[in-house]
Structure 1
Amino acid sequence: MKNHLDAPVSASPDLSASIAKDIRDAIIAGRLIVDERLPSEAELAEQFSVSRSTVREALKRLAAQSLIRTQRGAFGGAFVRRLSYTEAYGQHVTTSTLLLSMNDVSFDVACEARFALERACAEMACARRTPDHLATMHAEITRQKTPGLTDEAWCASDVTFHRALVDAAGNPVLSYQLAGAVEAMQPLMNMITFTARSRERIIALHGGIASSLEARDAPAVTAQLEDLAQYTSVLGRDVLAARAARAARETRA
């Protein structure tokens, strides 16, 4: 069998991670293609000069990343798996959420990035939106008007509404890239602003966005997203300033 893995595994305290990286790099570079069978555990152990248990751990890492699949039987083994955009969404959202929560990203920076990316979808979404996208957005607006809707349910509805706008652009690469903006940034932003926001104002803006999208009026969609971005940014600054003032008073007390 042709060896598609270039170099011996690099020195690392975690050999299984290094082996997984080498195999992942081979997949990304196209040296290992979809549905191609990887060398057996014994062959990989010999190639990398490690134990079979180390190879097995490396394969588990790759399977957890949805890069390989295993098959039993006479023609079994580990095979390169085709990763779909839908499957990759979850990993991307998790990474984006961790990145934003673990680093010093200001509310204004997150807000600016999220709405800039979303506005980039407006023209394509107006040209390509389907009745299903519009139905989803209108259904979420109706849901948002429900009396007593919890903050958690509101946040979920808000994400679904904006996810439909992004998906209406009809570009899976763009949808994947914006998964982090909509499904990671948005909930974190909602956590800050939920105590001060006016649901009625947001619902009105959502209604305008949906109506403009239905009319294929891209400039109007863009303008309403800008209004929503400005409102969200002001809300965030006000809430964070109030928190800082309260903390300062408690410190002095």
Structure 2
Amino acid sequence: MTRRQQDVQSGAFAPSPVRTPVDQVRLRILEGIISGELRPGDRLPSEVEQARGFKVGRSTVREALRSLVEMGLLSTAQGRGGGSFVNNFDSVPVERNLKDAMELLLHFDAINVRELLEARGVLEGTCARLAARRRGDDELARMAEVLDQAGRTELSAEEWLQLDIEFHRAVALSGDNRVLIVPLAALHAVVQPRLNEAIMPLLDREEVNAQHRAIYEAIGAGDSEAAGAAVEAHLTSLEQLYRRAGLL
């Protein structure tokens, strides 16, 4: 028997892991949402009815529902007319769950800051290049507004950092690619508040604002290569500060 045959025999034809009752209930409801059998606003049967239908205990149903609420797929209401309802789904719960996963991996050294910054550079550079091709008046106006606000000298560090987050978010949204926006938003939520606070004493606000303006101007001019290069220059400058702060 060849090595390839051994791999196939030991992999594809190995028994599947047995799912717990909670997983079975959660996945069945999830399948209903994905297939359209359960639509936004639909009310799920009561816990008693679900327990009877799934042939499990109410505590199993309750735990499965709780996990779907945490994922942002369901919401619950108490009292008369209450119950579990299918949410109108958007990317926010996915961004939040991905952010939490990244922070957990970072905490246990399963990933590191260097890898986060590399991923951010790839995603944000791509978004900036796309933004230069697809930018609209509203997106450009939002970037300009944030830049003007960030230039105010009386801003506190917290206020200025929030505007920094908003600028990068505006660039990502201008790229108009939701598959890129979701992981980038999660990366921003991990990297920007935590790491930028650490380097705040080393930051030159005017220099960062100028780097942001270079990104904005390249996007406004429709120059995708210049937009990508401006993002790379900005993130390289920040990386040097992270090194000085001992984060890399």
Q: Please, what TM-score do these two structures have when normalized by structure 1?
A: 0.75
Say if 2:132 and 2:222, in contact at 8 Å, map to a contact too: yes
Q: Could you tell me which of 164, 167, 172 is aligned with 1:161?
A: 167
Structure 1 gap segments, 5+ residues each: 1-8, 245-253
| Residue aligned with 1:170, SS | coil
> What amino acid sits opposite 2:139 in the alignment?
H
Tell me, in whole angstroms, the C-alpha distance in 2 between the residues paired with 1:20 and 1:151.
47
| Residue aligned with 1:121, SS | helix
Matches within 5 A, 1:84-123: 84-103=90-109, 105-123=111-129
Say if 1:19 and 1:55, in contact at 8 Å, map to a contact too: no
Tell me, in whole angstroms, the C-alpha distance in 1 between the residues paired with 2:150 and 2:200.
13
Aligned residues with identical type, % of pairs: 31
- Counterpart of 1:68 in structure 2 is 74
> What amino acid sits opposite 1:10 in the alignment?
R
- Counterpart of 1:217 in structure 2 is 223
> What amino acid sits opposite 1:151 in the alignment?
A
Give how far 1:140 is off. Answer: 1.7
Cα pair distance change 1:212/1:89, threshold 3 Å: same
Matches within 5 A, 1:1-253: 10-11=19-20, 17-23=22-28, 25-27=30-32, 30=35, 32-35=37-40, 38-69=44-75, 78-103=84-109, 105-240=111-246
Q: How large is the Cα RMSD of the aligned pairs?
A: 3.2
Q: Which is worse superposed, 161-170 or 148-157? A: 148-157
Moved over 6 A (4+): none
Cα pair distance change 1:170/1:45, threshold 3 Å: same
Give how far 1:233 is off. Answer: 1.1
Give how far 1:236 is off. Answer: 0.8
Cα pair distance change 1:97/1:129, threshold 3 Å: farther
Give how far 1:38 is off. Answer: 4.6
Tell me, in whole angstroms, the C-alpha distance in 2 between the residues paired with 1:77 and 1:188.
38
Q: Please, what TM-score do these two structures have when normalized by structure 2?
A: 0.77
Tell me, in whole angstroms, the C-alpha distance in 2 between the residues paired with 1:106 and 1:66.
28
Say if 1:70 and 1:79, in contact at 8 Å, map to a contact too: yes
Tell me, in whole angstroms, the C-alpha distance in 2 between the residues paired with 1:84 and 1:147.
36
Tell me, in whole angstroms, the C-alpha distance in 1 between the residues paired with 2:190 and 2:165.
9
Give how far 1:240 is off. Answer: 0.7
Q: Which is worse superposed, 162-171 or 175-184? A: 175-184
- Counterpart of 2:4 in structure 1 is none
> What amino acid sits opposite 1:30 in the alignment?
S
